[in-house]
Structures are given as structure tokens and as C-alpha cells.
């Protein structure tokens, strides 16, 4: 029951897609700080390689960059093959890579729709499918392997901006999480999702000019999310403490979803 045992994840191997910035970097940093070897992916190789070097040095733990484009099957296959060449098994898969696209309803493009759906939904399914064997090797009754899918509160609420496929894709992620959880729990692989609210990121940042003060004011907690909030939740899900949590979509949003229109002050 000691906290060092309940939340211990040291010695594990993780794959975090989109792990070089935003929420992916937060989870990666939390893993590295607690003794996990982490492979991270992103499309832009120079920035990815530099971020992996920076994180490795900061946490004195291996962070290995694997540049790739996960929006296509070729990119997914290349990524999985590179990991398979280096590892016989993995313990954690964090499906975090994602995209958003905003256009008016009347002119919303097929290009934007397909980009969001391919990266946010299709890649999660096929990465989980193709990493299943590596996840199965280490998963046991006492210590199952884990998959964490990063959804969004925009998949639970109606988004305020015209990002039509984004909310739909994240709702799909939440339901796909339940479907995959039902299938893979029998193989000692636990699948859960995190639905973040506002966190500093290169996805939310441009929409608010990287000024999160107004968003913070409107949040029940009067702030945006921090790396500790996201890393702590991911560590819980991957540790002994989270080993009985299956198929859940856990919000990390300061109370937006559950307290909306219920201000009792």
C-alpha cells in the first residue's frame, strides 16, 4: 500500500505518439522522471530529435525519437517496424498524436475532415492493432500492459469553435476506447482514455494567441492544466493503482464538463 509501490512504473518501456510537445510531452516527461524508457514520435524530425535529447538529459533517462507521419498506413507500419526492431516488448502505448482543423460549415473541406479523422481515429486503431503483440508479451494478470488514448472534452461537450471533425473524432476515440478495452482486457492489456480540457499546447495556443488568461478565468479551477495534472493521471493509469480501471474516459479539465451550468455559489 505504500505510494512508492502503488505508483511505481520504473523499468517499463513506453511509446508516446506526438510526444515532443503539449500533452504528449507532459506524459513523456512524467514517465521519464519515474524511470520509464520512452519512444516518442512526431512528423518534424529536427524538433523531435532535439526534444528527445533535451528530455533525456533533463531526466537522465532514455528518450528515443522516431520521426514519422502516423496519418497514413505506410507511416504507421514504418513506425511500428522501427519500434519492433528495437524492443521485444512494450508496456505502455499512449496514442496522443492528433490534429484539429477549423473552417466554416459552408466551406469545410474534405482535406481538413480526412486529416483529422485519419490521425485522431484511424491511427489509434491501427497502432493498437499493430502493437498488440508487443503489449501482450509483458502483460500479466498481476501487471497488465496499458493503452491510453487521448480524447478531449470536445468529444463530450459541443465545441464552441467550428472544428467539426475534431469533436466527432474525439467522441469516436472515447467509444473506440471502450470497444478495445472489452476486447483486450482478456489479453491483459488495459485500455483507457483521458479527455483533457484546456492545457497549454500548440493546438489550443494559436486559437487564443497563446494567452490562456481568459480561458483560465472561465475555468471552475481558475487555471489551465499543468504538466503535473496530466502526468499524474497517466502514471495512475499505468501503475498498480490503476490496474482495476478499464475502459474509462477520465476528464482532466478543472471541472468544465461535470460542473457546467451548476454554479451554486
Three-class SS state of 40: strand
**Taking Cα atoms as reference points, which of 182, 257, 197 lies closest to residue 229?**
197
Residues ≥6 apart with Cβ < 8 Å to 258: 251
Angstrom distances, CA of residue 65 to CA of 111, 163, 220: 28, 30, 37
Angstrom distances, CA of residue 265 to CA of 219, 220, 259: 14, 11, 12
Is 166 one of the catalytic residues?
A: yes
Of the candidates 59, 164, 166, 212, the residue annotated as catalytic is 166
Residues ≥6 apart with Cβ < 8 Å to 135: 89, 90, 91, 93, 145, 147, 189
Partnered with residue 1 across adjacent β-strands are none
Cell of 22: 503539449
Alpha helices by DSSP H, 60-195? 73-86, 110-117, 123-138, 164-184
**Taking Cα atoms as reference points, which of 90, 48, 87 lies closest to residue 70?**
48
| CA distance linking residue 263 with residue 245, whole number of Å | 30
Catalytic residues: 166
Amino acid at each position: 500500500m505504500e505510494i512508492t509501490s502503488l505508483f511505481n512504473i520504473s523499468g517499463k518501456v513506453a511509446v508516446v505518439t506526438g510526444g515532443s510537445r503539449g500533452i504528449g510531452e507532459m506524459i513523456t516527461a512524467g514517465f521519464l522522471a519515474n524511470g520509464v524508457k520512452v519512444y516518442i514520435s512526431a512528423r518534424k524530425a529536427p524538433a523531435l530529435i532535439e526534444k528527445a535529447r533535451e528530455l533525456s538529459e533533463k531526466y537522465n533517462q532514455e528518450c528515443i525519437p522516431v520521426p514519422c507521419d502516423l496519418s497514413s498506413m505506410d507511416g504507421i507500419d514504418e513506425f511500428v517496424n522501427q519500434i519492433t526492431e528495437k524492443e521485444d516488448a512494450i508496456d505502455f502505448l499512449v496514442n496522443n498524436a492528433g490534429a484539429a482543423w477549423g473552417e466554416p460549415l459552408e466551406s469545410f473541406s474534405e482535406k481538413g475532415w480526412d486529416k483529422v479523422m485519419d490521425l485522431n481515429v484511424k491511427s489509434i486503431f491501427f497502432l493498437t492493432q499493430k502493437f498488440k503483440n508487443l503489449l501482450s508479451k509483458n502483460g500479466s494478470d498481476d501487471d497488465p500492459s496499458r493503452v491510453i488514448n487521448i480524447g478531449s472534452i470536445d468529444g463530450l461537450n459541443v465545441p464552441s469553435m467550428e472544428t467539426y471533425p475534431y469533436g466527432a473524432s474525439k467522441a469516436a476515440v472515447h467509444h473506440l476506447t471502450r470497444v478495445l478495452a472489452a476486447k483486450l482486457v482478456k489479453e491483459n492489456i488495459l485500455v483507457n482514455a483521458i479527455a483533457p480540457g484546456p492545457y497549454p499546447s500548440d493546438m489550443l495556443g494559436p486559437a487564443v494567441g497563446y494567452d490562456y488568461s481568459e480561458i483560465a478565468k472561465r475555468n471552475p479551477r481558475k487555471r489551465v492544466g499543468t504538466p503535473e495534472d496530466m502526468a499524474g493521471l497517466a502514471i495512475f493509469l499505468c501503475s498498480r493503482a490503476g490496474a482495476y480501471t478499464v475502459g474509462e474516459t477520465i476528464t482532466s479539465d478543472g471541472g468544465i464538463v461535470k460542473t457546467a451550468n451548476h454554479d451554486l455559489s
